[in-house]
Chain A
Amino acid sequence: MKILVCISNVPDTTTKIKFTDNNTAFDQAGVQWIINPWDELALTRALDIKDAQAGMVEEITVINVGLAATEPTIRKALAIGADKGIRINAEPKDAFTVASQLADVISKESFDIILCGIESSDSNGNNVGGMLSELLDMPSVSSVSHFDIKDGKVELKREIDGGQETVSTPIPFVGIVQKGIAKEPRIPSMRGIMGARTKPLQVIEAIQTETLTEFATYDLPKPKAACKKIDPDNVKELVQLLHNEAKVI
């Protein structure tokens, strides 16, 4: 089987978020970029399956829609263990554009399993995986917290509100994965980092696409009023405040 993992290039989660141009653009100055955490977990799970079942997974490819500056992130995915990388040379303007670019490339290849993280930590969209599956006219399973291949068949568990379901799907399909799919993301080894330099990273020129949405302006959350501290010897006061002042209990 051939697995494709779609990866997003996002600011490190500890980045201080600032905006420029009258709050219309994210200020990228000094930002460290990483693989989107959910995408990294998806890649980790794909690698775990490949390692556990020799011969079952033929190849793992990572794909990213981004300009040249995202290549270090793709190289990191190669260092973690992906076999090859693809970068579609386009600015990821909105989720529909990204999904359209991905769909165009994927439809010309033959991937059996396409994995996406459930959201990216920058736009928090939950969009691309579902949009991609619809553009490719493939089944999709979302909120996937476990994924395995047994006897050539795909087994998934997905989270529902109030429980979990075991789902089967034919291939090809799009799996939209969340927390639980892998415990910890893999850390590249020194050998992996050295090897990543020579792994293939193909750059594909973008097609013409359109956007359906635009992040027009940004706001920072209003600063919160200072925390009201209560004496640890007077816990009763806290409960009274929650009842009488905050009116939440």
Chain B
Amino acid sequence: MSVLVYTENWDGKFKKLSFELVSFACEIAKTLNTNVVALSIGKVNDDELNKLGTYGASKILNVQNENLINLNNQAYTSVLAQAAAKEGATLIVFAHNNTGKAIAPRLSVRLKAGLATGVLALPSNFQPFTIAKKVFTAKAIANVVIKTPVSIVTLLQNAFGVFETPVAASIEAFNPEIKDNELKTEVKDVNKVSGKILLTDAEIVVSGGRGMKGPENWGSIEELATLLGAGTACSRPVSDEGWRPHEEHTGQTGKILAPNLYIACGISGAIQHLGGISGSKCIVAINKDPDAPIFEAADYGIVGDVLKVLPEMITAVKELKGN
């Protein structure tokens, strides 16, 4: 028996989300009186792999295979299925990101294991396995019962947190069998956004809406974001207008974020937008319309012209950071 975690790496490095997954799995493993096995695919050095032990992974399966450099849904599913069988996994944990969303459903069928995606917290019950997730675009929470002996979950980023539970981790080379007919898709080109904080990874997000008036005013959003070490996001009309790239669109049909702090600048807060940010720990709204729905979702609000408030906020943050 074990809890298996897929820990993704980016150019050989893990991110906070990988450590969060291990922390989450470790807490469940304690309850189940079992251990956590992490699975890593790709070139990651031992120092980096050992970091997973800090969060409670006692075994790390290290897969190095030329055919697995880029995500291939079928082949990765096979790797996970073979690891799950070898380790007798009763629970498999993924991040609720592009990779998790691509593999977990295939694995669910392969293992005939029930899947709950975008889960928010630890299971509320183990018999039967019951876990909460958002539904109706964050307008409600469903308590999902998984009826199969093996469960799969994808954890919403930032929903659990990172906790250290140091254990001695053993690193084991793992060479799963990959069949040729599982390698049908081919990545022709990779275009990485470099030097920017990944939105889904950001603990603070500064986001702009139509109230920003035009793309020429984004300098203050970017300046505030840089000061706070934050990612930048936007509302749907802004990305539709082409003021900002699609990757920044946050809301029902865009990115779902759960940062510690979300600063909504000139965003009215349509229900579709709120669906993408309601997991945020703290929401700040700056909008000139006192009746804008964003204030109902916000913890702190300023009713005022965002183009005047932002420069003052930048000054105040500079003062704070200067101390």
Given contacts A121-B136, A163-B190, A227-B295, 9 further A-B contacts (CB under 8 A): A99-B105, A124-B118, A134-B110, A161-B97, A164-B190, A212-B146, A213-B115, A227-B299, A229-B295
Closest beta carbon of chain A to B259's beta carbon, Å: 9
Q: Decide yes or no: A127 and B144 within 8 Å by CB, A229-B302, A239-B320, A249-B228 being known contacts.
A: no
B192 interfacial contact with A, CB 8 Å: yes
Is there an interface contact between A235 and B302, defined as CB atoms closer than 8 Å?
yes
Is there an interface contact between B188 and A160, defined as CB atoms closer than 8 Å?
no
Contacts of A145 in B (CB 8 A): 246
Report the separation of the CA atoms of residues A214 and B141 in the bound assembly, to the nearest whole angstrom. Answer: 13
Is there an interface contact between B140 and A213, defined as CB atoms closer than 8 Å?
no
Is there an interface contact between A162 and B198, defined as CB atoms closer than 8 Å?
yes
Interface set, chain A 191-245, CB cutoff 8 A to B: 211-221, 224-225, 227-232, 235-236, 238-243
B266 interfacial contact with A, CB 8 Å: no
Is there an interface contact between B144 and A214, defined as CB atoms closer than 8 Å?
yes
Contacts of B247 in A (CB 8 A): 159
Contacts of B201 in A (CB 8 A): 161
Contacts of B271 in A (CB 8 A): 13-14
Report the separation of the CA atoms of residues A233 and B63 in the bound assembly, to the nearest whole angstrom. Answer: 57
Contacts of A168 in B (CB 8 A): 185-186, 188
List 13 A-B residue pairs with CB atoms under 8 Å apart, sorted by A's residue number. Answer: A41-B253, A124-B137, A126-B117, A127-B105, A130-B108, A165-B70, A176-B101, A215-B143, A216-B145, A221-B138, A230-B301, A235-B312, A239-B313
Is there an interface contact between B105 and A128, defined as CB atoms closer than 8 Å?
yes
Is there an interface contact between A129 and B105, defined as CB atoms closer than 8 Å?
yes
A80 interfacial contact with B, CB 8 Å: no
A246 interfacial contact with B, CB 8 Å: yes
Minimum-distance CB pairs A-B, first 8: A130-B105, A232-B304, A212-B114, A142-B102, A163-B192, A134-B109, A239-B316, A235-B312
Interface set, chain B 188-203, CB cutoff 8 A to A: 188-193, 198, 200-201
Closest beta carbon of chain A to B158's beta carbon, Å: 12
Q: Decide yes or no: A140 and B73 within 8 Å by CB, A11-B136, A235-B313 being known contacts.
A: yes
Binding site for B on A (CB under 8 A): 11, 13-15, 17, 19, 37-38, 41, 95-96, 99, 118, 121-131, 133-135, 139-143, 145, 158-170, 173, 176, 178-180, 183-184, 211-221, 224-225, 227-232, 235-236, 238-243, 246, 248-249
Is there an interface contact between B187 and A118, defined as CB atoms closer than 8 Å?
no
Is there an interface contact between B188 and A219, defined as CB atoms closer than 8 Å?
no
Q: Which of A128, A143, A173, A215 sits near B144, CB closer than 8 Å?
A: A215
Report the separation of the CA atoms of residues A183 and B237 in the bound assembly, to the nearest whole angstrom. Answer: 11
Interface of B is mostly: mixed
Is there an interface contact between A99 and B109, defined as CB atoms closer than 8 Å?
yes
Is there an interface contact between A225 and B299, defined as CB atoms closer than 8 Å?
yes
**Residue of A145, A183, A218 most packed against chain B (CB within 10 A):** A218
Q: Which of A96, A143, A180, A238 sits near B284, CB closer than 8 Å?
A: A238
B57 interfacial contact with A, CB 8 Å: no
B296 interfacial contact with A, CB 8 Å: yes
Please name the residue on chain A nearest to B312 by beta carbon.
Answer: A235
1/0 contact trace for B172-194 toward A, CB 8 Å? 00000000000011111111110
Please name the residue on chain A nearest to B240 by beta carbon.
Answer: A183
Is there an interface contact between A127 and B115, defined as CB atoms closer than 8 Å?
yes
Contacts of A217 in B (CB 8 A): 142-143
